[in-house]
Structure 1
Amino acid sequence: MVARVTVTEEALRLIETLVDIHGPLMFHQSGGCCDGSSPMCYPHGEFRTGESDVLLGEIGDTPFYMSKDQYEYWKHTQLIIDAIDGRGGMFSLEGPEGKRFITRSRVFTEEEKRELANS
């Protein structure tokens, strides 16, 4: 099965560090419509999701959500969550670690699009 969201090793290490500090986490891709956007990382349940959000999958056993409206812009791409040096969003948990999560993407192949349509 093709994943709508994946994670790099660097981001996975950062997620593991944050889980050790904060316990279970969740992500929400809030804002941004292109590569370089920053997903927000919260303690699990701190950000309230609802019918206007889509669960894209899990990265490092952590759910990853996006608003339905934003999903319409991104649905043809696989999101690749990475971590780089720098400051994250003001309310995102990774800020004090001197790292920030960043969203990269790639367009699904035609075969992947068919697989996703049939799932």
Structure 2
Amino acid sequence: MPAVQRVITTPAAQALIELLRERHGAIYFYQSHGCCDGSTPMLFAPGEMPIAADDVLFATVHGVPFWAGRTQADYMQGTQLTLDVGQGSLGTMSLENEEGVYFRTRTRLWNDEESAWLAAHPLT
């Protein structure tokens, strides 16, 4: 079985990632610590928000690291995230805010084969 992707993107999210990478250079996502499905992933340039010792590299999305706190990563492990774009500003410090849009996630439960692959390839 090919590697399971913990985070995938819609075409709109991929286009926005490419635009922001061209504009800002190196960028990275950080999944907020929200308690609910759909918590906001935020996009930063290096140095805007430090990665903590207990943060986990959850995925890489189109060459962009996608970080989460250990507790949030553990919570999200049961689902695949689909990164999408919503219209309007959430007023966050995330780089896409200046575009009048925001990144958002939807989730999908893993099937048995995907769950088995993930169990054999845990996050570190």
Fold equivalence (TM over 0.5): yes
Unaligned runs of 5+ in 2: none
Within the candidate set 42, 46, 54, 1:52 is matched to: 54
Instruction: Name the Cα RMSD after superposition.
Output: 1.4
State the distance in 2 between where 1:80 and 1:63 align.
15
Unaligned runs of 5+ in 1: none
Structure 1 equivalent of residue 26 of structure 2: 24
Alignment of 1:87 onto 2:89: yes
**Offset at 1:89?**
4.5
Alignment of 1:6 onto 2:8: yes
Alignment of 1:26-41 (within 5 A): 26-41=28-43
Amino acid at match of 1:37: S
Aligned residues: 119
Q: In 2, are the aligned partners of 1:40 and 1:89 still within 8 Å (CA)?
A: no
**Offset at 1:103?**
1.0
Task: Indicate how the Cα distance of structure 1 residues 24 and 57 shifts in structure 2: closer, same or farther if over 3 A, else same.
Answer: same
State the distance in 2 between where 1:45 and 1:26 align.
10
Q: Secondary structure at the match of 2:116?
A: helix
Structure 1 equivalent of residue 117 of structure 2: 115
Query: TM-score under structure 1 normalisation?
Result: 0.92
Q: For residues 8-39 of structure 1, give each alpha carbon's deviation from its aligned partner in whole angstroms, at most 9, with x where no partner exists.
A: 11001011111121111100001223332210
List 4+ stretches of structure 1 deviating above 3 A: none
Q: Among all aligned residue pairs of Structure 1 and Structure 2, give the percentage whose two residues are the same amino acid.
A: 42
Q: For residues 72-97 of structure 1, give each alpha carbon's deviation from its aligned partner in whole angstroms, at most 9, with x where no partner exists.
A: 21111111111121114521010110
State the distance in 2 between where 1:31 and 1:103 align.
13
Query: TM-score under structure 2 normalisation?
Result: 0.88
Task: Indicate how the Cα distance of structure 1 residues 61 and 88 shifts in structure 2: closer, same or farther if over 3 A, else same.
Answer: farther
Structure 2 equivalent of residue 63 of structure 1: 65
State the distance in 2 between where 1:33 and 1:109 align.
23
State the distance in 1 between where 2:87 and 2:32 align.
20
